[in-house]
Amino acid sequence: MNTMTYNGYHARIEFDAEDELFFGKIAGISDVVGFHGDSVAELKKAFHEAVDDYLETCKSIGKEPQRPYSGKMMFRVAPEVHRRAALAAELSGKSLNQWAEEALEKAAAHFAKDRLSA
């Protein structure tokens, strides 16, 4: 997966072979803000402009730019994954929520280190 970072915002980048262009969407915001370019240089410029325009628009209408997260996550996992995670949490002396939060934090930090530091 290819990502770009600018001014604290991130985007996942893809290539459309049929239209021969790169495109992306700003991640981590509730609005849909996309951009595209025919070359990497154009894509990078378009991404910067999209972020700057998004921030300026939010400022002008008095809106908070990034969506707040509640801290609640609800998702399903395979029963065997649930069993192993619950067992690991119990053996660690932690609640499943505490254990899962630590596991997600480690995974997110690892991802950020590898993918978002560029």
2-61: what fold?
Double Stranded RNA Binding Domain (3.30.160)
Q: SS3 of 86, please?
A: helix
Q: In the prediction, which pLDDT does 116 show?
A: 66
pTM above 0.95, yes or no: no
The DSSP secondary-structure symbol of 108 reads: H
How far, in Å, CA of 29 to CA of 62, rounded?
Answer: 15
For the beta carbon of residue 64, count every other beta carbon within 10 angstroms: 9
> pLDDT higher for 90 or 113?
90
- Tokens representing 63 are 């809106």
Higher-scoring residue by pLDDT: 74, 68: 74
**For 27-45, how does the pLDDT look when each residue is reduced to its tens digit (9 = 90+)?**
989 899 999 999 999 999 9
Which amino acid is present at 101? E
Is 70 exceeded by the pLDDT of residue 18?
Answer: yes
Domain ranges of the chain: 2-61, 79-116
End-to-end CA distance of the chain: 13
